[in-house]
Amino acid sequence: WATRWKKLANYLRKVGQLFMQSRPTIFRQLGKYEQTVEQLPIFRDKFL
The 10s digit of each residue's pLDDT in 1-48 is 789 889 989 998 988 887 777 777 777 777 777 777 677 776 666 665
The pLDDT value recorded for residue 48 is 54
18 to 7, 40, 44, 46: CA distances (angstroms): 17, 34, 36, 38
The one-character DSSP state at 20 is H
The pLDDT value recorded for residue 29 is 77
Q: Report the chain's terminal Cα–Cα distance, integer Å.
A: 56
Q: What CA–CA distance (Å, rounded) separates 24 from 21?
A: 7
The pLDDT value recorded for residue 43 is 63
The pLDDT value recorded for residue 42 is 67
